[in-house]
Structure 1
Amino acid sequence: MKKIYSDTRELDKAARSTFGLTEDIMMENAAAAMEKEISDYIKKCNGPFLSRPTVLVLCGGGNNGGDGYALARRLISHDVSVTVCEVLEAKSEMCILQKERAKKSGVHFISFYELDDFLTETSFDLKAVADCIFGSGFHGELPVQAKAVLDAVNKEKGLLKLACDIPSGIYFKADVTVTMGALKTQLFTDRSKDMCGKIKVADLGISRSSFENCPSVQPEAFLLEESDLVLPIREKQNVHKGTFGHTVIYSGEKTGASVIVGTAALNFGSGLVSLVDKTDGLENKNIPYELMTGKQLPENTTAVALGMGLGINNDCGNEYLETLIENKNIAAVLDADILSGEKFSEKLKELLYSRRGLDNLILTPHPKEFANMMKHLGLGEYEAADVVENKLECAKKFCSEFEGVTLILKGADVVIAQKNPSEENVRIYVNVFGTAALAKAGSGDVLGGFAAALLAQHKNSLGSAVHASLAHALASQKCSVNFSLTPFELISYLKQI
């Protein structure tokens, strides 16, 4: 896994102090990394050209703009035509210096008023655009002229679009983002997933590990990698089905959801799987033979999945929660209606407090469910959009209140979080491997089944959440037609990861 930082300015300062680097040296390395991306791309471009391959660099007034001016100056040495569009007046000391250097090197300059004419005149030769307007330090609304410029270049087709550090305002739609020194949290919001393209980290004169080696600056989160996945491979041979736990799914209004969860759990290693409904809801239903059914919780239950398809007004929901309160040794995954239904909020709160520090409870809400849950728990008023825009902060707030409870906050990029009572900060992981194929009814039920299966096999909640989420996301990548994925196909793709 890789470190993700909310702010790298202290890392910049530490690198300059420890290794004797100057701001100029670091900026030159940043420009060199972008230069390589653009020059490698242009080498692959086949003519004919009306003149020469053309590169447009959009520059802001801060150090991100300084990176852009340095990039333009370096690109002049290649057989390309380089133009800078000065979107905002140069203001920082390094930006002013790099602008003067670019001018003296023969870089062509235009104002943002001239951009439309430039794009028309160079439409045949323009092969790359570099967005160097704003970096990771920018917050708030984009200036009008910056937004207009980005609107114009976003419409351009058939060329490389490169972002410096992060896409400006997460508004520029990049093919590749060259981020400076270390990964930033802004690169991993749900909105960023469609805007950043391929993310590459540029070394700034020292190795990435040296840049990140600053004890006073802790990462905000960790980026999961494919190699972090640990599947529940069975190492021992002298075993039986009970060795691998008994997963129970409390069934409700939508029996199909329970069947999906149970099938996912069975396929992810649970030795036994049962569907339980205290009413007659499972009678005369077409339940797969390998899933057992009943009205009472089996004595050998090791993990429970609750909420999937339950119904927000289910009369048994609070009784099921009470069972989990009374049996703290039974691990559980909670999702959907049991989290967002106001009817269950008091018992849910009681359960959450009862499991503090036990590391055997996982919640898997999507943003709307999370917003409703936070409101019902008295932890704040949120809209789903607020959660989407501030997932890390929302996760930290919840996990700080309920230490030892693990949260899987779903979305384009999945956030997995837990506050270990023995650690100062909330530990957060980000899973970026999911695809649009998962935007389908039943996909979340599969995730819940995977997580419950690992809990049933006596794994801790944080590890279960991480590995279930990775398996879920990586399986989705095996679908070649992303609009056609069904829950049972998703489960079947486990065999290919």
Structure 2
Amino acid sequence: MNELLTPAEMTQADALAIAGGVSGYHLMQRAGWAVARAARRLGPCRTLVLCGPGNNGGDGYAVARLLDGAGWPVRLAALAPPKPGTDAALVAAEWSGPTAPFTPAEAARADLVIDAVFGAGLARDVDGLVADTLAAARRILAIDTPSGVDGGTGAVRGRAAQAEITVTFFRRKPGHCLLPGRDLCGRIVLDDIGLPSAVLDQIQPQARANTPALWTLPVLPASTQKYARGYVSVLGSASMTGAAQLAAAAARHGGAGMVTIVAPGHAGRYSHVPAGLIVNDQPLDELLADKRRTTWVCGPGLGQDAARDALPKLLAAGRQVVADADALGAHAGHPEALRGAAVITPHEGEFAKLFGPSGTDRLGAARAAAKRVGTIVLLKGSDTVIAAPDGRAAINGTGTSALATAGAGDVLSGLVAALLAGGMPAWEAACAGAWLHGRAGELLGPGLVAEDLPVAIARAMRELRLE
């Protein structure tokens, strides 16, 4: 269930299910059951259900009735009544329990507030009475998304309060995976509530949560020799030699059978590299004559002038190129120069210099950038987005704040290059690289440094193969 549905796609899924004979009223009742189950795990307590006038509010009325029937002390506060004739109005008519004013004081009295005010398809900013009331709550269980969180982007529209648990239905939304929405949701509970998965065949969602279900690591026969496992070349320079070495180490541990640092005229600066890593000082033009050198990393520690000179040569030679760091900075404001690269891996600052700030919609910005340059874009961050020119996108969920350390990006570029060299298509290689990189950070935990990551990446790969 790694598909991510935008609010509009979720509305379409509901409509298709209802057109196929599923009762909208019963879907709302099942949503109420899902939320009530999550609430009951917290233990009986004084509960206030805050209901809006739409379907999210209808879910809230169902929850209130179910918890009241289970003996909970429940009161319901309605922002506005549902529109007559809607499923929400039918469910609201079944509530005969106590009501309360929709005020901050009432929220502050409750042990648990169930936020059924606005769902993922938020059409306006949340402020004033709604925002103040939710801010007064001590503990929140949100239905679909916390009110104020945009389900399509994860951005906060106006204000949003922190939820301890968010219960959502059928499929998650991008806003459940993108920051700050991901954090504001707290623990996410997903319930299918009976919608038929066949509706996805008509919707054809283009966004996914990045999991190993999207890709398969290369499996090579026992007879494989080192060149068949992939040949990765990393461009290096006389300065910042550590960046190239980190990328090369990641390529080696990521599965490449042969890894070379290419540093014309500067091989002496790499005199202390590991024994299995080759350093070559031949001119780039000569090395490009070797057809076995299929995959290159261009940018880490290279310098912008050198990157500006080397990248066109690599692309003209038809090589698979992972462009990072100085290869991106060298073309600030001119991203079309990156067309032909297999994968580009900008962080937020590099992305802004290339394409302009991503703003509140990282997913949309990454997709637009990928379409513009015809290249896989791996937009790094705590909520890394991988986007393809055809509109496919994945949001990565592995990782830790400990990965915010110098050199971690160089490791990622080398890992993606190794996966490319091993035969993975660029989309799959970028998704797998982001997932493995994040998982390696989780395995290491606090205190990690970039030099630790390559070995941890190999461990993460072994974990996958053992599952």
Q: Is the counterpart of residue 455 in structure 1 residue 420 in structure 2?
A: yes
User: Quick check: 2:142–2:165 contact (8 Å CA) kept in 1?
Assistant: yes
Partner of residue 442 from structure 1, selected from 396, 402, 407: 407
1:290 aligns with 2:282: no
In structure 2, the CA distance between the partners of 1:286 and 1:115, relative to structure 1 (3 Å rule), is farther
- Give yes or no for the alignment of 1:5 onto 2:8: no
Alpha-carbon shift at residue 214 of structure 1 (Å):
5.0
The one-letter code matched in structure 2 to 1:337 is D
Of residues 264, 284, 308, the one that matches 2:250 is 264
The runs of 5 or more residues in structure 1 that have no matched partner are 43-51, 375-381, 420-424
CA distance in 2, matches of 1:229, 1:407: 17
Post-superposition Cα deviations, 1:354-408, rounded to whole Å, max 9, x if no partner, equal x2xxxx611111122112111xxxxxxx325x1xx212211221222233x2111
Which residue does 2:153 correspond to in 1?
A: none
8 Å CA contact 2:166–2:188 kept in 1: the answer is: yes
Match of 1:201 among 190, 200, 221: 190
Contact 1:76 1:107 in 2 (8 A): no
Give, in angstroms, the shift of residue 79 of structure 1. 2.6
Deviation at 1:237, TM superposition (A): 2.3
Measure how far apart 1:259 and its partner are.
0.9
Equivalent residue for 1:362, pick from 331, 340, 343: 343
Aligned partner of 1:71 among 60, 63, 77: 63
Q: Deviation digits for residues 191-210 of structure 1, max 9, x if unmatched? A: 12211223233333x34514
1:273 Cα deviation (Å)? 1.3
Tell me, what secondary structure is at the counterpart of 2:41? helix
Q: Matched residues in 2 for 1:213 and 1:447: separation?
A: 33
Partner residue of 2:217 out of 231, 235, 247: 231
Report 1:28-427 matches (<5 A): 28-42=29-43, 53-86=45-78, 88-93=79-84, 94=86, 95-102=88-95, 104=96, 106-115=97-106, 118-119=108-109, 126=111, 128-153=112-137, 156=138, 161-170=140-149, 171-204=160-193, 206-210=194-198, 212-213=199-200, 215=202, 217-228=203-214, 230-233=216-219, 235-252=220-237, 253-280=239-266, 283=269, 286-295=272-281, 296-297=283-284, 298=287, 299=290, 300-311=292-303, 314-328=304-318, 330-342=319-331, 349-352=336-339, 355=340, 361-374=342-355, 382-384=356-358, 386=359, 389-403=360-374, 405-419=375-389, 425-427=390-392
- Give the whole-Å Cα distance in 1 for the aligned partners of 2:148 and 2:268: 51
Instruction: State the alpha-carbon separation in 1 of the partners of residues 293 and 387 from structure 2.
Output: 26
Picking from 419, 427, 430, the partner of 1:465 is 430
Distance 1:89 1:259, change over 3 A: same
Which residue identity lines up with residue 453 of structure 2 in the other structure? L
* 1:72–1:107 Cα contact (<8 Å) kept: no
- CA RMSD of superposed structures (Å): 2.4
CA 1:65/1:287 → structure 2, altered by over 3 Å: closer, same or farther?
same
Secondary structure of 1:19's aligned partner? coil
Query: CA separation of 1:340/1:133 partners in 2, compared to 1, >3 Å: closer, same or farther?
Result: farther
Q: Give the equivalent residue in structure 1 for 2:154.
A: none
1:485 partner amino acid? L
Deviation of 1:333 after TM superposition, in Å, equals: 0.4
What is the match of residue 47 of structure 1? Answer: none
> Alpha-carbon deviations, 1:62-82, whole Å to 9, x = none?
221221122111110113211
Counterpart position of 2:449? 486
Q: Is the 8 A contact 1:250 1:305 kept in 2?
A: yes
Answer whether contact 1:131 1:167 (CA < 8 A) is retained: yes
**In the alignment, is the contact (CA less than 8 A) between 1:414 and 1:431 conserved in 2?**
yes
CA contact (8 A) 2:104 2:134 kept: no
Aligned residue among 15, 19, 28 for 2:17: 15
Q: With structure 2 as the length reference, what TM-score do the two structures score?
A: 0.87
8 Å Cα contact 1:11-1:214 kept in structure 2: no
Distance across 2 between alignment mates of 1:175 and 1:281 = 55
Identity across the alignment (%): 28
* Closer, same or farther: CA 139–491 of 1 in aligned 2, 3 Å: farther
By how many angstroms is 1:55 displaced? 1.9
SS in 1 for 2:101: strand
For 2:118, give the aligned amino acid: F
Report the alpha carbon displacement of residue 459 of structure 1 after superposing the two structures with TM. 2.5
Question: What CA distance in whole angstroms lies between the structure 2 residues aligned with 1:363 and 1:134?
Answer: 37
CA contact (8 A) 1:130 1:163 kept: yes
Distance 1:257 1:263 in 2: 10
**1:319–1:340: structure 2 CA closer, same or farther, 3 Å change rule?**
closer
Amino acid at match of 1:73: R
SS for the counterpart of 1:41 is coil
What's the offset of the Cα at 1:263? 0.4
Tell me the TM-score normalised to structure 1 length: 0.82
Matches of 2:352 and 2:338, distance apart in 1: 18
Q: What's the CA shift for 1:96?
A: 4.6
Give the distance between the partners of 1:53 and 1:163, measured in 2 at CA: 16
Distance, in Å, in 2 between the alignment partners of 1:177 and 1:432 is 17
Residue type of the alignment partner of 1:439: A
Return the alpha-carbon distance in structure 1 between the equivalents of residues 104 and 438 of structure 2: 44
